[in-house]
């Protein structure tokens, strides 16, 4: 129950601060936990860039991922966005956080999980960015087991 309360507080914070965000990202997709196919909904907040490295804007990012079976992930980390030619871009992020599973088949071995993401996308004429992202959650062998899980998501990035 404490996890649900903490999640609600963080969700409220992310949604209320979205008006101040440099970017709000919404992603939808699928993941496969040991042959258990699950839908994914992502909500991310990306700050204004805090660093510029090798042509990429580095931002602080908060992420909340929900699965249709009730599992969720919530975390804070770093995100990078690097423009390419002809309105294309690549994105990447590393976000440590808390994962709560609702059934044994989706147990990742630990509540502490690290989500990494790589994506490629395009900026549309209206300024919205659309990308295809591949993410991986793993506990980096901190847990009792480390099966990890991958997700493929279609991501929509809305600028402030």
Q: How far apart are CA 41 and CA 29, in angstroms?
A: 7
What tokens does 135 get?
A: 């993410």
Tell me the pLDDT tens digit for each residue of 65-99: 999 999 999 999 999 999 999 999 999 999 999 99
What is the per-residue pLDDT for 36?
A: 84
Task: Give the helix/strand (H/E) hosting 72.
Answer: strand 72-83
Other beta carbons within 10 Å of 37:
10
Burial class (CB in 10 A: 0-12, 13-18, 19+), 127: exposed
- From the list 71, 68, 77, 82, the residue with the least C-alpha distance to 97 is 77
Summarize pLDDT for 55-71 with one digit per residue, the tens: 999 999 999 999 999 99
Q: Is the pLDDT of residue 1 over 60?
A: no
- Nearest-angstrom CA–CA distance, 52 and 133: 22
In the chain, where the domains are located: 2-159
Which fold does the domain 2-159 belong to in CATH?
Porin (2.40.160)
pTM (two decimals): 0.86
pLDDT digits (tens, 9 = 90+) for 109-140: 999 999 999 999 999 999 999 999 999 999 99
Half-sphere exposure of 84 (CA within 13 A, CB side): 9
């Amino acid at each position: 129950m404490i996890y649900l309360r903490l999640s609600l507080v963080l969700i409220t914070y992310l949604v209320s601060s979205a008006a101040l965000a440099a970017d709000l990202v919404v992603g939808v997709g699928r993941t496969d936990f040991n042959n258990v196919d699950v839908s994914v909904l992502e909500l991310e907040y990306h700050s204004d860039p805090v660093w510029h490295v090798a042509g990429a804007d580095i931002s602080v990012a908060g992420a909340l991922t929900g699965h249709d079976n009730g599992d969720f992930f919530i975390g804070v980390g770093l995100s990078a966005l690097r423009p390419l030619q002809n309105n294309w871009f690549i994105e990447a992020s590393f976000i440590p956080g808390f994962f709560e599973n609702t059934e044994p088949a989706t147990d990742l071995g630990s509540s502490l999980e690290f989500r990494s993401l790589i994506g490629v996308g395009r900026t549309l004429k209206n300024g919205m960015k659309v990308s295809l992202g591949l993410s991986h959650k793993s506990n980096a062998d901190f847990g009792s087991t480390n099966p990890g899980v991958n997700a493929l998501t279609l991501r929509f990035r809305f600028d402030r």
